[in-house]
Structure formats: C-alpha cells, structure tokens
Structure 1
Amino acid sequence: MEWFKKSVFSGNQDIFTSDCYAFILDATDYYWGYPGSIEEAEFQSKWKSKFDLNHASFGHAFQNGNCGWTSLKLKNIEYLGFFNGGDWYKLTIKGGCGENDYSNTLVRIVKLNEHNGFFKISNFLSLQDE
C-alpha cells in the first residue's frame, strides 16, 4: 500500500491516532527504562485494556537500537484482513545505522483506520526485532 511507503518513516506523529501515539511513547519509555519513565503498574493499568502488552517491547516504532537508522525500507507489506473495526497489516522493515545498512529486520503489525478522511494507525504490535 502506497500510504505506508510514504508515511511510515516520516517521523510524523500524525500517522497515529492520539491513543496509539501515546501508547507508543509510553511503551518506548517503559522498554528503555529511563529514570522517571512510566513504571510497570502504571503502564499495565493505562494500556492493558486497549493494546496487547505482550508485544509492546520496542525502542522506536519503526526502528530498533539507539542509533537513529539512516537506512530504512519496507521489505514487505502483507494485508492480514479486516478485524475489530480496521484493516490489519504486517510490515517487514529492513534498516540499520549506516548508509546502505539493511542488516536489521523488524516485524510490526498495525491496524489502519480512516479518521476524518485520513488514514491513521490505531493499533501497534512489535513481533520481532533482529
């Protein structure tokens, strides 16, 4: 889907619903464990009813590591079907810290909904970081 190719690596929070973006920020803080970041009990009570916390271990939504990837590409976009009010996609992302470095692979599952004429990611799962 062309929308993913244009939007996923933009770094723009507008590709997410407000709840999903807040969840991603909290999950990132929780995963990295920075001093003063969200604690497990608060993370659980705040998001357990809305998101699958078993698949919330990621450092960045569409990257891994702490280097700020310079090489990024969507290797595969697989439509998984319509479920729970939205279209679900499996994204396989390749990237790395250096130019033309595609040594890392991420798998993300995202739920895409249309909101006020715009597509938004409303749910987010991290399946694999290598």
Structure 2
Amino acid sequence: MPQITVDYSAELADGFDRPGFARALHEATVEIAGARQPACKTLFRPAEDTVVGPDGDGHAIVHVRVGLLAGRTEEAKATLAEAALELLRRHLKPREGVTLHASAEVEDLDASYRKFDGE
C-alpha cells in the first residue's frame, strides 16, 4: 500500500515524465497520507484508444487513482488528489492542439486487500 494506477492516452507518452511524476507523488503520499515510502507502488497504463465527447479528436486523458488502506480523512484524500493534479501539471508537457482532461481520485482499498512481497 499505497497502490497507484495512472491511465493515460498513449499519445502523451513522449511528454510525460512518468518516473519523475511517480517519485513526486510517492513523496506527496507519504507527506499527506502518512504512507511509507518503500510501500508506494505506481503502475502506468497507456491507452491506445480514448474518446472524449462526440468525436474524440484533439483530446487526451490522464486519470490517477490512489488506493490507500482505510483510515485517512476525506480532507486528506482530497488534498492528495489535488496534489496529484498539480504534479501532473509539472510532469506532463502540453501538446499543441490537444485538450487534456486530467483527473485524480483517492480511495480506500477494499477490506479484502492482501499482498505479498517476494522473489
């Protein structure tokens, strides 16, 4: 924990500093939500096909989902979501002629969440 997933339009890949974004979001998650740095994990998933509105042309999407163990306040979760959006602004170069639709959410992991670390 935390489990961070970033879905993004594949055409953004060249201008998206994913390692820098992940490191900065891990730091924010530690600071805002009290997570442990070694436990932060981020998975990036490029999407080849995205559609926005009736035609979809000229648009790109980034959605950040942060899953945390239960116990954080709604205020802390909202603060972390805002921090994720601000970090996207710093780590994602705008593309000319492309409207970016960025969003973030911070959710409690389900009570069934389990994990293991191993080789």
Which band: TM-score by shorter chain? under 0.3
Ranked by relative contact order (alpha carbons within 8 Å, sequence separation 6 or more), the top structure is 2
TM-score normalised over the length of structure 1: 0.25
Quick check: which one's helix share is greater? 2
Q: Between Structure 1 and Structure 2, which shows a larger proportion of strand residues?
A: 1
TM-score (norm 2): 0.26
